[in-house]
Amino acid sequence: GDKVSTVRKGMEELNNLVLKLVDIIMQLAPFGVYGLIGKTFATLGYTAMLPLLKYFIGVIIVLLLHYLITYQSLLIFVAKYNPIKFLKKFSGPMMVAFSTSSSSATLPSSMETMQDEFGVSKTISSFTLPLGSTINMDGTAIMQGVATIFIAQIYGVNLTMGDFVTVIITATLASIGTAGVPGVGVIMLGMVLQQVGLPLEGMALVMGIDRFVDMFRTTVNITGDAVCTLIVARTEGELKGEEVAASVKKNKLA
Ligand code: ASP
């Protein structure tokens, strides 16, 4: 309240400052990505390009399958929501996630879309979305799994069935610990590599193209949060069709 207005104002200003810094970094990011990729190919040569391309395509295929199979069936069978309508309404936050590679930076856009377009109440969306953007990183877990197998192949290490189980468990845990900002997923990959005895230097192999992979996995991460939000809204009786969504919107405006 008023008693601590200076502290509150200080916090708000600090928040503005951080947002501005993120903004500046985002503008510089393309040059940084160019530098990182340039370094990867300058040191590894063109021979690195084909395996890296295979890794990139591998991650994209698994992310796509996750979206098409897991999310779409959750939408259809649990949230009882038309996936095409979902995609149309949620494309805005997806584009924000794709361009910023940050679940946290996408949070305001997701919250607004969930409340205004889908008619989910603030009570639900302000709980599920921030929680999801902090701990639900399934796209990141997928990348870490594929990257571990790619690095094992490059180093000629054969992973056993037990190693695969370890990768699944540690990638899930590492993704929960990943912050919703660009590039953290690849740092947390170190944890997974260590668990199966792979050299940490392997991270450098995928780091050069990680910015591109990050764009796709962040989009999957925030889409998962939105699907879960819809499921919660449905089970709480908030989504009874489009009319309900509209009436909630009216109430909110009133
Ligand atoms: N950029 C991802 C996110 O914000 C995290 C990561 O995998 O690096 O969701």
Q: Is the CB of 101 under 6 A from ligand 1?
A: yes
Going residue by residue through the chain (254 aa), what tens digit of pLDDT does each one get? 788 999 999 988 998 888 788 778 777 877 876 776 777 677 777 777 788 899 999 999 999 999 999 999 999 999 999 999 999 999 999 999 998 899 999 999 999 999 999 999 999 999 999 999 999 999 999 999 999 999 999 888 999 999 999 999 999 999 998 989 888 898 899 999 999 999 888 888 888 788 899 999 999 999 999 999 999 999 998 886 543 444 445 555 43
pLDDT at position 200 is: 85
pLDDT at position 168 is: 94
pLDDT at position 240 is: 66
Q: State which of 104, 134, 189, 214 you would mutate to test the pocket of ligand 1, scoring each by most atoms of that ligand within 8 A of its C-beta.
A: 214
Q: State which of 146, 221, 223 you would mutate to test the pocket of ligand 1, scoring each by most atoms of that ligand within 8 A of its C-beta.
A: 221
Per the prediction, the chain carries an average pLDDT of: 87
Q: Which two tokens stand for residue 194?
A: 């260590």
pLDDT at position 95 is: 93
**Under 8 Å between Cβ of 207 and 182:** no
Structural domain boundaries of the chain? 46-253
Residue 18: other Cβ atoms inside 10 A = 10
pLDDT at position 32 is: 74
Q: Is the CB of 119 under 6 A from ligand 1?
A: no
pLDDT at position 241 is: 59
Q: State which of 22, 102, 110 you would mutate to test the pocket of ligand 1, scoring each by most atoms of that ligand within 8 A of its C-beta.
A: 102
CA of 218 to the centre of ligand 1 (A): 5
CATH superfamily of 46-253: Sodium:dicarboxylate symporter (1.10.3860.10)
The HSE-up count of residue 24 (CA atoms within 13 Å, CB side) is 6
Please give the C-alpha separations between residue 66 and each of 1, 37, 99, 101, 171, in angstroms, as whole numbers: 45, 27, 20, 18, 16
The Cα 233–Cα 203 span in angstroms is: 39
